Amino acid sequence: MKVDLNGPQGADFSEVTSAQNNQAGQARPAATPESSLGEDTTSLSADHATLGHLTGQVLQSSEIRQDKVGALRQAIESGEYKIDPSKIADAMLRESE
């Protein structure tokens, strides 16, 4: 896909503006000089702080539970780990619903 960094020009520009003007129910007020010269503002909610705290906790935790991996590895090596194909198939069918 080619991206034109210069924006629409000529006939393309008139097609874009007419398509924007024809959007039903989405009339936009014209920008006034006062509103276009205003400062950009942003607002962060308390959820941002909570998200930052939870992100920190996740980054500190280990993604791999070594105790589970070790137990499974030992069961496989000793031949005690048995796979039930019907349980796997049932689980796959439940997930696809």
Indicate the pTM of the whole model. Answer: 0.32
In contact, 15 and 8? CB cutoff 8 Å: yes
Q: According to the model, what pLDDT value does residue 72 have? A: 94
Q: According to the model, what pLDDT value does residue 68 have? A: 92
Q: According to the model, what pLDDT value does residue 5 have? A: 60
Residue 52: how many other CB atoms lie within 10 Å: 9
Residue 94: how many other CB atoms lie within 10 Å: 8
For the chain, what percent of residues have pLDDT higher than 70? 62
As given in the structure block, the two tokens for residue 64 are 């791999």
pLDDT band at 11 (very low <50, low <70, confident <90, very high): very low
Per-residue pLDDT reduced to its tens digit, 38-56: 788 877 777 877 888 888 8
Q: According to the model, what pLDDT value does residue 7 have? A: 55
